[in-house]
Amino acid sequence: MPKYPRTFLPAAVAFVASTLAVAAEPAEGPDDRAVYDRILSLAGDWSGHMEDPLAGPPVAVRYEVASNAHAVIEYQNTGQSFEMVTVYFLAGGKLHATHYSAAGNQPAYKLGSESTADLVLLQFDGGTGFDADRDGHVHQGEIRFVSPDRIEQRWFHYVGPKEQGVTHWFLERKAAEEKPAADEPKPEPKPEPVAGKER
């Protein structure tokens, strides 16, 4: 038995109570607005490779800010046979996205609860144009912020409830093309003096 039982017991009870109180508090999820702001920061052109960061098939992505900054449109491989579009937006303060697949379906996503400041987890949230219990679709996605000019994406492909594969994209921001300076207007040549007339 402890030497000072009257001191030990209240301290132990207080410790257990505080531990239980902390455990009972709901864990704070990701800040949807902050995540959306990071997606806004991607505006511009990106290029890179799929699967292998140096030698994989080339891919291109463009992020456009639209609707007075209430939407970010991500264009993947514009003009290619596997061209796709994803639109990111806030609804009720929560981040959502809709993916417009080249397969003709539109899976929807919400921000996953385990997202962090550097990892956006797009969790499946229904969609249109397919039956999630039997059809192929992009079931979830990830955007990892490696640096201000480097990101990685992973897209998880499902048929029904089973994962069939993952595509991994390695992207770098393309430097903004410098617009050539507008040529200054050249002075018009002075007319040649006419013989016999003084100017």
pLDDT at 24 over 60: no
Predicted confidence at residue 6, as pLDDT, reads: 52
Which domains are seen in the chain, by residue range? 32-173 (2.40.128.20)
Reported confidence tier of residue 12, pLDDT bands at 50, 70, 90: very low
* Dihedral sign for Cα atoms in the order 104, 105, 106, 108: negative
pLDDT at 45 over 80: yes
The angle formed by the CA atoms of residues 94, 120 and 44, to the nearest 5 degrees, is 95
